[in-house]
Structure 1
Amino acid sequence: MAILLMFLLGIGNFALQRAVLESRHRLLRELPPLIRKLGGRASLVAEFCLLLGAMLLVGNGYPEWGWAYLGYTALNAFSAWILLSNRI
């Protein structure tokens, strides 16, 4: 059950990250061109690695990593809300 919940949180994280990347927020436009070009793909790969690592740890008996991933998701949601609502 915990792995399924983490998978659903991961889907949410990918959706939030994609929305931020496609928002064309001014902070993203100010990044250097190379980082802007590679940053989107690299950040999605990093997101996948985080999700996979957390799921493997929870699946092997470390439930505290599930709580840590929930906190990470909450921070992602807050950050995406700030950027997408133009509060920054």
Structure 2
Amino acid sequence: MPTFIIFLCGIANFALHKATMESDHPMALQMRAAFGRFMGGYGSYLLEFLILLSALSFAALGYTIALPSYLVYTGMNALAGWAILTGKI
């Protein structure tokens, strides 16, 4: 069950990541420029995937801290994405 919850949170993280990276916010423009030199702009998606893969791997190995850690990570991403997309930052 923890792996399934982490997987669903991963989908939400990728959707939020895509939305923020495609916005015209100055922070998003800066991140696109920084990651543009690495893997043609897809480097940030690779980093997001590696974090998801790590959390899924730890959960599959039975580490109970994997789910709460990834939930906190997802919550922080949600708050940051909300702030960027609504222009609160």
Same fold (TM > 0.5): yes
1:20 equivalenced with 2:20 (yes/no): yes
Show CA shifts across 1:33-78 (max 9, x none).
7515246411100110010111111111101111100000000000
How far 1:24 moved relative to its partner?
1.6
Relative to structure 1, the CA distance from residue 32 to residue 41 in structure 2 (aligned partners, 3 Å threshold; closer, same or farther) is: closer
Relative to structure 1, the CA distance from residue 68 to residue 44 in structure 2 (aligned partners, 3 Å threshold; closer, same or farther) is: same
Unpaired segments of 5 or more residues in structure 2? none
How far 1:32 moved relative to its partner?
8.1
Identity of counterpart residues, as a percentage? 36
Cα distance in 1 for partners of 2:77, 2:31 equals 23
Deviating runs (4+, > 6 A) in structure 1?
none
Alignment of 1:8-87 (within 5 A): 8-29=8-29, 31=30, 34-35=33-34, 37-38=36-37, 40-87=41-88
Unpaired segments of 5 or more residues in structure 1? none
TM-score by length of 1: 0.88
User: For the Cα contact (< 8 Å) 1:28–1:36, is it kept in 2?
Assistant: no
User: For the Cα contact (< 8 Å) 1:54–1:66, is it kept in 2?
Assistant: yes
Relative to structure 1, the CA distance from residue 20 to residue 56 in structure 2 (aligned partners, 3 Å threshold; closer, same or farther) is: same
Cα distance in 2 for partners of 1:5, 1:33 equals 29
CA RMSD of superposed structures (Å): 1.9
Query: Match of 1:48, SS?
Result: helix
TM-score by length of 2: 0.88
